[in-house]
Amino acid sequence: MVNVPRLVVAAPSSGSGKTTVAAGLMAAFAERGLDVSPHKVGPDYIDPGYHALAVSRSARSARSTGSGGGGSRPGRNLDAYLCGPDRIAPLFLHGAAGCDLALVEGVMGLFDGAAGQGELASTAHVAKLLRAPVVLVVDASSQSRSVAALVHGFASWDPEVRVAGVILNKVGSDRHEVMLREALEGSGVPVFGVLRRTDAVRAPSRHLGLVPVAERHADAVDSVAALAAQVREGCDLDGLLALARSAPPLSGPIWDPVAEVRAEALGNVCGTGPVPAGRPVVAVAGGPAFTFSYAEHSELLTAAGAQVVPFDPLRDERLPDGTRGVVIGGGFPEVYAPELSANERLREEVARLAASGAPIAAECAGLLYLARSLDGQPMCGVLAAEARMSDRLTLGYREAVAVSDTALAVAGTRVRGHEFHRTTITPDAGSEPAWGIVHPERRIEGFAQGRVHASYLHVHWAAVPDAATRFVGGCVPYVSRAG
């Protein structure tokens, strides 16, 4: 049994202020000297970036002294659709190991889950799997006494979900606060905080949500500082910490990337031969254009025998020395298409690496980067396809099956993934797809070309650790040649 003080920060609906409150709480508790472990329900990549910033020692140092330094816990996702309900508590315990407090930001409304699948992947579902008390963030801007009916409904809807407190957000005035508190006096749900309406803590947004931290780090530090101050002044931090400590112990197992890849190797499912001698360098794209990744992917690659080295396609003209494989996750290459295109030397090196037979795994933004062009700007040219921005948002969970053997999966492998983009890609005739989407609709998707696997589908490797063992097992010696 493991004792982890924990809270889930939820809301009746999107737009209530979950991210504002969650990041503010994380920063405020971290400023008290607590080791805070940040988590996010669902597949979202952007909010965890703000969470990691909120709990980082370097950000706290910068806020207080103007200097940097220190480490941080990464923001981690808890998605019961992508990873399966049985992995939620083990992944949580892995990420929260040794912490003083774990804070979990919910997704959408408290009871909103995967479409057509009941509570699956909802905040309520994850809260039950973690046996965690829930604090409900309520947008009180357009109500007074009705807040009691809303809170009562959410607190009583599912007896297995412990709605243990409320934070009133966007409160207009002292009089408004009095009315709200009076209405909630008989609800049995205590008020742990009241936050006033303010524009000081808003983060800029664009076509896929908030602008990621990596693109506005200095401004984001200031925003998080403002969040921490607002929460510190408006919330009962001692009461919330006591509530978190009331959560019961969780039983194991604890997710272990080394155990996961060893289990796959023992099962002989990799099918790519032994891992090369030494630790092959796997270059993982990062920087402002490629901010979408799950922390567990690098952990699994490392456990499978790789030396994971980050690189920034916006600034680095060469791949890391000795690169034998490349992972390019999601992000916003469409925002940086001219800069990515201008880095011709790196584009050519990525193309040579692909031609050499080394494995390349690309998701969404990585798919666009490997295309011939993006919005008319030349890209790597690894894939015979053209990519463009679109007015149409593609969003949702998917079930898929591998159409052929790729760097990540053997033919027939079934996965669950998530799509989130406003771009389209047009392949040349005869391109081999990576996936066959089987739910919610049937279609083919992505590219399987040699040892290149490129797709719009985001897959969480914790659910398919063979992806890491197969990828590292497919690494081959490669020596970069200057162009």
Same fold, 6-245 and 257-473: yes
Q: What is the mean pLDDT of the chain?
A: 90
pTM above 0.75, yes or no: yes
Of residues 83, 99, 364, 380, which has the active-site annotation?
364
Check whether 476 has a pLDDT greater than 80. Answer: no
Q: How large is the average pLDDT for residues 287-309? A: 95
Question: What local confidence, expressed as pLDDT, does residue 283 receive?
Answer: 98
* Res. 157: pLDDT tops 90: yes
CATH of domain 257-473: 3.40.50.880
Q: For a pLDDT cut of 70, what percent of the chain falls above it? A: 88
| Res. 62: pLDDT tops 50 | no
Residue 303 makes CB contacts below 8 A (sequence gap 6+) with 257, 258, 260, 261, 468
> Would you call 364 a catalytic residue per the annotation?
yes
Average pLDDT over residues 407-421: 96
User: Tens of pLDDT along 235-284?
Assistant: 999 999 999 999 999 998 999 999 999 876 655 444 444 444 578 999 99
Give whole-number Cα distances, 171 to 212, 234, 444, in Å.
27, 11, 48
Could you read off the pLDDT of 191-237 as tens digits, one per residue?
A: 999 999 876 555 555 444 566 665 666 777 888 888 999 999 999 99
Pick the range with the lowest mean pLDDT from 67-81, 133-147, 162-176, 464-478: 67-81
Q: What is the pLDDT of residues 380-407, one digit of tens each?
A: 999 999 999 998 888 999 999 999 999 9
Rg, C-alpha atoms of the chain: 23
**Under CATH, which number does the domain 6-245 receive?**
3.40.50.300
Per-residue model confidence (pLDDT) at position 199: 64
- Give the mean model confidence (pLDDT) for residues 323-332: 95
* Annotated domain spans of the chain: 6-245, 257-473
State the average pLDDT over residues 62-74: 53
List, in sequence order, every residue forming a beta bridge with 76; answer none if it has no partner: 39
Question: What per-residue confidence (pLDDT) applies to 106?
Answer: 98
List pLDDT tens digits, range 305-318: 999 999 999 999 99
pLDDT at 477 (0 to 100): 56
Q: Is 50 exceeded by the pLDDT of residue 66? A: no
Local structure of 240: helix, strand or coil: helix
3-state secondary structure of 194: strand
The burial class, CB within 10 Å (0-12 / 13-18 / 19+), for 423 is buried
Residue of 310, 306, 320, 309 whose CA lies nearest to 468: 306
Cβ atoms < 10 Å from Cβ of 54: 32
The amino acid sitting at 337 is A
The pLDDT value recorded for residue 58 is 44
How many CA atoms within 13 Å lie on the side-chain side of 418? 20
Residue 69 banded pLDDT, cuts 50, 70, 90: very low
Residue 262 pLDDT = 85
Give the mean pLDDT of 2-16: 96
Buried b (16+ CB within 10 A) or exposed e, 166-202: bbbbbbeeeebbebbeebbeebebebbbbbbeeeebe
Residue 164 structure tokens: 């243990």
**pLDDT at 73 exceeding the cut of 50:** yes
